[in-house]
């Protein structure tokens, strides 16, 4: 990987040159406004990220609860033994009765 020689010099002079160029481009009166709006954008981004993290946690918890409820529903539909010892299958919705 190669580096540009300008970036290899890490001195305060480079920072002063960058700040000077920013003042020339935007003007001294607009720089505080730009910094303030950048700070507000960062704050809103972090708040949105925290909100998305909470939504993800809630979605994972809901999915876990749904999987547990499906598992428990499967356990409720197991075959039940009758008094004579023969097994009776669980009822199936939408199907009629079996004729003998």
DSSP the chain: ----HHHH--SHHHHHHHHHHHHHHH-TTTHHHHHHHHHHHHHHHHHHHHHHHHHHHHHHHHHHHHHHHHHHHHHHTS-EE-TTS-EEPPP-TT--PPP-
Whether the full predicted model's pTM is greater than 0.85, yes or no, is no
Per-position pLDDT tens, the chain of length 100: 566 666 666 677 887 888 888 888 888 888 888 889 999 999 999 999 999 999 999 999 999 998 888 777 655 655 555 555 566 666 666 665 555 4
């Amino acid at each position: 990987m190669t580096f540009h020689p300008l970036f290899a010099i890490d001195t305060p002079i480079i920072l002063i040159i960058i700040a000077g160029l920013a003042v020339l481009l935007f003007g001294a009166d607009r720089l505080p406004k730009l910094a303030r709006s950048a700070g507000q954008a960062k704050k809103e981004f972090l708040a949105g990220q925290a909100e998305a993290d909470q939504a993800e946690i809630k979605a994972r918890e809901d999915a876990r609860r749904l999987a547990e409820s499906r598992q428990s529903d499967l356990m409720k539909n197991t075959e039940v033994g009758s008094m004579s010892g023969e097994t009776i299958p669980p009822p199936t919705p939408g199907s009629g009765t079996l004729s003998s």
